[in-house]
Chains A and B, each alone.
Chain A
Amino acid sequence: MLAYITKRLGLAVLVALTVSILAFMLLYLSGDPALAIAGEGARQADIDMVRKTYGFDQPIIVQFGNWLLKIVQGDLGQSIYFKTDVGKLIFTKLETTLLLAIYALAFALVISVPLGVLAAIYKNSWIDRLCLAVAVVGQAMPNFFFALILIMLFSITWRMLPVSGSDTWQHFVMPAITLGYYAAPAFMRLIRAGMIEVLSADYIRTARAKGLPTRSVIFKHALRNAIVPVVALAAVQLGFLLGGSVVIETIFALDGLGYLAYQSITHKDFPVTQVIVLLLSVIYILLTLASDIANAWLDPRIRVA
């Protein structure tokens, strides 16, 4: 088990390094970053001053090295637009986004696990078809459209939930639903497929032959084995949810990382953008690492080799 973890860790570090290079290079997409910052119509002198201030006149490798070195030491740079330390800026917003992503994941699992189990037990019946229909329809809905509909219903028509802000848990309900529903069909299919396969396994027949109650057979014996790929997917999906929160946070004015990213992008605040991209990537890498380890741990054949 230890060898497995070490190997995966090494790979993770390598990927993180590559991503940091790409995140850094984002800046150069527009061609001349000094021009981008100084803005159109700026005089040559201003552009040159910007270039000097931000160190664009140095070789790219050096710039990258400096940037990475500073990050590793904890200096995440200064935000151009917000005029404050990037680190401080990000870590106040990180909590909101993490909460949102976790709520969204929880919502997705809460609807997909029961549906997936039901669809598997009543395979090919109308229940199964209904679950599948829900899944297909769910995946066809654009999330921002869904968000607007929810706002119309719950905020405006029924006045049950607040539209914007991030103060109370009620502020998170609609964003969590909007962010999470898109992930639900994938989980549902995975659980359904896993349960169908597991339910036809010999050890399920053994469990039934022992006269165990049905709920024990399904949950203790079947689901425990079917859930393994779901755990792996859940970790990965959490990563996607974190990255995909931009649209949702912007619609609901949720003061999180996604909204910050949107603001920094539209204001060409590249220090913030670079760090956010890097941060989200690193979180994703860590999550996939955790999911691989969890996967290995959940299977006693690997854990107790």
Chain B
Amino acid sequence: MVTDELVLDVQGLTVDIATPRGTLHVVRDISIRVKRGETLCIVGESGCGKSITSLSMMGLLPKTATRHSRVFEFLGEDLAHASKQRINDLRGNRMAMIFQEPMTALNPAYTIGDQLTEHYRHHRKATAEDARLRAVELLEKVGIASAAERLGQYPHQLSGGLRQRVMIAMALMCGPELLIADEPSTALDVTIQAQILRLLADLQAELGIAMVLITHDLGVVARIADRVAVMYAGQIVEEGTAEDIFAAPQHPYTRGLISCIPIPGKTIPGGRLGTIPGVVPSLIGDMKGCAFKDRCEHAQARCSETIPLHQTPPGQQWRCVMNELNQTGAGQ
């Protein structure tokens, strides 16, 4: 159940990465807001900057990256200028993250139990016994049978799906209020994917945490999202509730994405699925106006200037020169 309390408030986030070939503007002036109990899905194709966005929220950017933001607050606390120590105290504790590749995300040299409990003992100063009990509790919660035995096992003894469950349990050990999941199901078998997503949804409902889920798969979005942010070339081009985005996508890119998916009952068998022609533009150098203009069928001269933000209540908004009536008029 979505409440009104804002857990994460990020506005005007920009991330640049220095490379030998120039500065990559990976994330350009985006805003993310997640409420308690809400699932926000950031969806976009590879390279659009969604993973970097999630890493920047956890403070896990590479050394070559610089981050700026107008606002960056977690539960009302300013994190933009917080000390490294403070960020470290929050990580794994109040805000947690799970990653895409469960096969490599666990240290092969230590047992599951050790990796589950080490940050719990660090953040909560808990005893080994307390940590152990909590680990067993969480392993059961994520649906792993014979949890106590699993504690003594090594990562290589578990299957991919099990490892991802362990990752989820690990993230929840300290009872965080924000969970960021970067493509949690992508690397798993299709059947397991559904299980993991169901698990995440159930856990969120039970624990009331705010969740940010990164994915490139609209199917995942349809399953689990409350709100959706569509990202392209470092910008959020459209944002709204899941229903609105699917029922009435406004941005040409969003429409293109949705037209790519076959929908039973709607898509004509044997007919062609939509494609979006062209490739993602380079992120080096300044980009004037809309990043999508080279691939958009409605592109016009105005697209090279500052793009207006259109909004329709109760919260769908998009950046385009066309408003909800598909007319190019004066923006708001």
Contacts and interface: CB of A to CB of B under 8 A. Distances in A.
A–B contact, 8 Å CB criterion (strictly below): yes
Interface of A: 201-203, 205-213, 216, 220-221, 224-225, 298-301, 304
Contacts of B90: 211
Contact of B88 (A201, A213, A299): A213
Contact of B60 (A209, A220, A221): A209
Query: DSSP class of A's interface residues: helix, strand, loop or mixed?
Result: helix
B91 A209 contact: yes
B92 A211 contact: yes
A231 to B, nearest CB: 13
Given A205-B99, A210-B91, 9 more contacts: A201-B104, A203-B107, A209-B92, A211-B92, A211-B93, A212-B88, A224-B107, A224-B109, A300-B108
Nearest to B111: A300
B123 A211 contact: yes
Interface string B176-213: 00000000000000000000000000000000000000
Contacts of B108: 203, 225, 299-301
A305 to B, nearest CB: 9
A201 to B, nearest CB: 7
4 A-B pairs with least C-beta separation: A210-B92, A211-B91, A211-B92, A210-B119
B156 A213 contact: no
Interface of B: 58, 60, 88-93, 96-97, 99, 101, 104-110, 118-119, 122-123, 154, 156-157, 167, 170
A30 B89 CA distance: 73
A216 B101 CA distance: 22
Nearest to A303: B154
Contact of A221 (B89, B107, B154): B107
Given A202-B101, A206-B99, A206-B106, A212 B156 contact: no
A207 B91 contact: no
A300 B109 contact: yes
B101 A205 contact: no
Nearest to A228: B109
Contacts of B88: 211-213
A298 B109 CA distance: 8
Nearest to B114: A220
Question: Which of A209, A213, A298, A300 neighbours the largest number of chain B CB atoms within 10 Å of its CB?
Answer: A209
A209 B157 contact: no
A209 B97 contact: yes
A70 B156 CA distance: 49
Contacts of A210: 91-92, 96, 118-119, 170
Given A206-B99, A224-B109, A212 B157 contact: no
A248 B175 CA distance: 61
A202 B170 CA distance: 15
B121 to A, nearest CB: 10
